[in-house]
Structure 1
Amino acid sequence: MMSGEQKTPVVFTGRTGEYFGIWIVNLLLSILTLGIYSAWAKVRRKKYFYQHTFIDGVAFDYHASPVAILKGRFLAFGLFVLYSISAEISPVLSGVFIIAFIIFLPWIIVRSLTFNARNSSYRGLRFDFKGRLWDAVLYYILLPILMVLTLGLLYPFISQRRNRFLAEGHRFGRSPFIAGFKVKDFYFAYLKALLLLVGLLLAAGLSIGLLNVNNTDAWAKESMQQAIVPLIFIYLLILTICGAFLRARLLNLVWSGTRVEHVGFSANLRSRDLVWLYATNLLLIVLSLGLLTPWAQIRTMRYHAERLSLVGETDFAHFVGEKKAEVKAAGEEIGEMFDVELALG
C-alpha cells in the first residue's frame, strides 16, 4: 500500500444490550420449538451483524430465507442421526458413512460458500462465489493426504492455497476478488509460530525444572501432582498465545493481499490483542454460564472491524451485478452440522 492512498475504515456499531435481547429470545424460542426456530434465529443473528457493519456510511445486508435454512437443517440433522445410528450398528457402516462424507465434502464446501455469498449484499449489490469443485477436491482432500506423507511440511502451502481459493472464488457483483499473498509468507508465519511455541515450551519446562532442582524426588513428585492443574493452564495459555500469533499474521497476510478491482484491504491485527480477547472472552463466558456470550461476540466483531480498512478510492458506482440463481441451504447446514471450517486465515 502506498502512503498516499486513501483508507476507509470498516465500522461496527453493534451494542451488547441490543444484541443480548436478540440472542436470549433466539435461545429461548429455539429451545421451546425443539430447534425449529433456530433457522429464524440464524437469520436474525446474521442480519444484526451485517446491518451494523458499515463501509463509507453504508451497511451490509443478509437475505437468506429461514425456511430454506430450516429445510437444509432438517437434511443435515437427518444425516447426523443416520451417522450416529450407523456407528452403533457397525464400525464398517460408520466407516462407509465417513468415506461418503469425505467424497461429498468439496460439494458441501462450494455450496455453502455460494449460499452465504449470494445471500450477502452491499449497496444493493449481491456477492457470489464461483470457486471450482475440482479446486475444493484438491485443497481439502488430495493435498491433505500428501501433507501426511510430508510430515506436515506441506501445510503452509495448503493454507495459502485454501485462502486463495476462498478469496478468488468470491465476486462482488461481476467483479472477482484477486489474491496476491505468497506461499513464502505463509511458511514464514508458520515457522515463526512454531519457533514461538518451542521457545515458550522450553521456557516453561526450564522454569519447572529449576523449581525442583534442589528438592528430593519424593517432594518433587508430590509437588508435580499438586501442579497438574497449573501445568494444564500454562500449556493452554501457550497454545492460546501461539494460536493468536498465527491467526493475526495470517489474517493480516490474507486481507492485505486481497483486492477487488481498484479497492484493496489493509489489516493490522495484533497478537497480544487477540490473546487478551480470546482469554478474557472464554473466562467470562465460563464464569457467567454462557450469559456473556453476546458481549464476547460483539467485542470480537468490533475488534476485527477496527483493525480492517479499505485502501483506495471507494467509488462503488461502476460495480455491476446480475441476478443470481437461488441456492439451497443444504450444503451450508450440512457443513455447519459437521463443523466444516471455511473462514479466512
Structure 2
Amino acid sequence: MHYDDIQAESAFGFDGNWKDFAKIALPNLLLTIVTLGIYRFWATTRERQYLWSHTRFVDERLEWTGTGKELFIGFVLVMLLFAIPLFGIQFVSQALVLRGYETAGVVLGLLPLFMIFYLTGLARFRALRYRLSRTRWRGIRGGSDDQGFTYGLSYMWKTFVGYLALGLLVPWSMTSLWNERWGKMSFGPHRFDADADSANVFARFLLFYLSPFVFVIGGVIAAATGGLAGYGIGGEEGAGVGLFTSVIILGLFFYVGLGLIAVAFYAKFYREAVGSTHWKDLHFGFEASTKDWIMLLIGDVLTVVLTLGIGFVFLSYRHWKFFVTHMEAGGDILLDELTQSTTATARHGEGLLDAFDIGAI
C-alpha cells in the first residue's frame, strides 16, 4: 500500500482551537504558579498531547508519548551534572583571582563559557532526538543512535567560524548545522536527509548585514537635514527640535526596520532549510512568507499585551498551528516499507534545553 504524489494541501492538517487549548493552558498556568514552577514539565506534556493529537499527517494523527516525569528528571540531571559544576568552577576562579593567581583565574573563568557554548549545541541536538523518539505516526516513532556529542563540537567551531569572517559565514553555519543535525535523525526505518544551501539565503542575510551601516549613514544625513530645516524655521531652538525629532525617527526606524529585515532573512532561511529536508522519497516544504512571520509576531505581542501577560500561555498553540499550517509535503510513501525504528529511545527529556531556556517553534 502506498500514497502517490502527496500534495501540500492534503499532507498536513490541524483542527485544534484556542478555546479547547485554553482549558488545558490556563489550569496549567495556575498549577505551575502554585507549585513554584515544578508543574511546568507536566504542563508541557499536556499541551503537546493536545497539539499532537489534533495534527494530521496524510491519513493519521500524531501522538505524543512523552511524560512530564521524563522532562523533570532530565532537568534535574542537568542541574546536578552541569549547573552545579559550572557554579563551582566560577567560585574557584574568583577565589584564584583574589589570591593573586589572576591568569589561572581568568583561564578557569573562561571555561564555563566554552562549556555553555558546547552544551547549547548538544541541547539542540538531544531535544530534537527526544521529540522524534516520543512522536508516533501510525505507531512508528523516530530518533537517532547518535548521542549528539560530536554535534556539540560542530556547533562550537561552525558558529565560531561563521562569526570569525566578520559574520559573513553565518548563513553557511546555520545551513550546515541544520543539515548535520537532521542528517543524523531518522523516523521509522528511513533516515532524514537535508542539503540546505547557504547561497540561496545569502542575499537576504547581506541585506540584514549591511542595513545598520545604511541606517547610520542615512541617520546622519537625516539628523543634519532636520537640524538645518529646524534652524531655518526657528533658529537655534528650532534646530534643536529638528535634530531631536530626526534622532527619534531614526531610532524607531533603526529598530523596527532592522527587525523586519531580520524576519525576512529568517523566513527565507526556514523555507530553504525545510524545503531541503527529505525523508526517503518524501520532500518537505515550508511556505510561510515574511508577511506571515510578521503577522505571527504582531499577533504574539498583542496576545500578551492585551491580556496583561496571561496570553503567553497561548503562544505555543499559535506557533504550532503556524508551523503545521504552512508545512507542505510531496512525494511517495510506501506504507508496506514502514517498520518501527531501531534507534535507541531517549530516556530523559529536554533538560539542557530547559536549562538554557532555548525555545522551538
1:1-345 to 2 correspondences below 5 Å: 5-9=5-9, 10-78=12-80, 79-80=82-83, 83=86, 91=94, 92=105, 95-131=110-146, 133=148, 135-194=150-209, 210-216=225-231, 218-222=237-241, 224-225=243-244, 231-329=250-348, 332-340=350-358
Distance 2:130 2:251 in 1: 40
SS in 2 for 1:164: helix
Distance 1:279 1:222 in 2: 32
Number of residue pairs matched by the alignment: 339
Query: What letter is aligned with 2:56?
Result: F
Name the CA shift for 1:202/1:227 in 2 (closer, same or farther; >3 Å). Answer: closer
Deviations along 1:317-345, one digit per CA (max 9) or x if unpaired, are 42222354342326x2122211346x59x
Name the CA shift for 1:14/1:320 in 2 (closer, same or farther; >3 Å). Answer: same
Shift of 1:5: 4.8
Distance 2:356 2:251 in 1: 28
Query: What letter is aligned with 2:112?
Result: F
Query: What letter is aligned with 1:336?
Result: D
Q: In percent, how many aligned pairs have the same letter?
A: 18
Name the CA shift for 1:248/1:175 in 2 (closer, same or farther; >3 Å). Answer: same
Name the CA shift for 1:20/1:142 in 2 (closer, same or farther; >3 Å). Answer: same
Distance 2:239 2:17 in 1: 50
Name the CA shift for 1:231/1:288 in 2 (closer, same or farther; >3 Å). Answer: farther
The root-mean-square deviation of aligned C-alpha atoms, in Å, is 3.2
Query: What letter is aligned with 2:181?
Result: L
Do the aligned partners of 1:39 and 1:70 also contact (CA within 8 Å) in 2?
yes
Name the CA shift for 1:261/1:324 in 2 (closer, same or farther; >3 Å). Answer: closer
Name the CA shift for 1:132/1:67 in 2 (closer, same or farther; >3 Å). Answer: closer
Shift of 1:75: 3.1
Distance 2:59 2:171 in 1: 37
Query: What letter is aligned with 1:56?
Result: V
Mean Cα deviation higher: 208-217 or 246-255: 208-217
Name the CA shift for 1:256/1:313 in 2 (closer, same or farther; >3 Å). Answer: same
SS in 2 for 1:253: helix
SS in 1 for 2:310: coil
Deviations along 1:291-337, one digit per CA (max 9) or x if unpaired, are 2234444333333322221112344342222354342326x212221
Do the aligned partners of 2:126 and 2:148 also contact (CA within 8 Å) in 1?
no
SS in 1 for 2:308: coil
Query: What letter is aligned with 1:29?
Result: L
Larger radius of gyration: 2
Shift of 1:223: 5.1
Do the aligned partners of 2:143 and 2:341 also contact (CA within 8 Å) in 1?
no
Deviations along 1:4-34, one digit per CA (max 9) or x if unpaired, are 9541432122211111221111111111112
Distance 2:315 2:219 in 1: 29
Which residues of structure 1 form unaligned runs of 5+?
A: none
Name the CA shift for 1:224/1:23 in 2 (closer, same or farther; >3 Å). Answer: farther
Mean Cα deviation higher: 247-256 or 123-132: 123-132
Name the CA shift for 1:184/1:138 in 2 (closer, same or farther; >3 Å). Answer: farther
Mean Cα deviation higher: 56-65 or 248-257: 56-65
Do the aligned partners of 1:159 and 1:186 also contact (CA within 8 Å) in 2?
no
SS in 2 for 1:235: helix
Which residues of structure 2 form unaligned runs of 5+?
A: 95-104
SS in 2 for 1:264: strand
Distance 2:211 2:335 in 1: 42
Do the aligned partners of 2:29 and 2:313 also contact (CA within 8 Å) in 1?
no
Distance 2:354 2:269 in 1: 23
Q: Please give the TM-score of this superposition, normalised by the length of structure 2.
A: 0.80
Deviations along 1:236-274, one digit per CA (max 9) or x if unpaired, are 321321122111111111121111111111222111221
Name the CA shift for 1:204/1:72 in 2 (closer, same or farther; >3 Å). Answer: same
Mean Cα deviation higher: 142-151 or 271-280: 142-151
Distance 2:207 2:118 in 1: 34
SS in 1 for 2:229: coil
Query: What letter is aligned with 2:271?
Result: N
Mean Cα deviation higher: 120-129 or 182-191: 182-191
Distance 1:340 1:34 in 2: 20
Query: What letter is aligned with 1:7?
Result: Q
Query: What letter is aligned with 2:21?
Result: Y
Distance 1:321 1:20 in 2: 34
SS in 2 for 1:125: coil
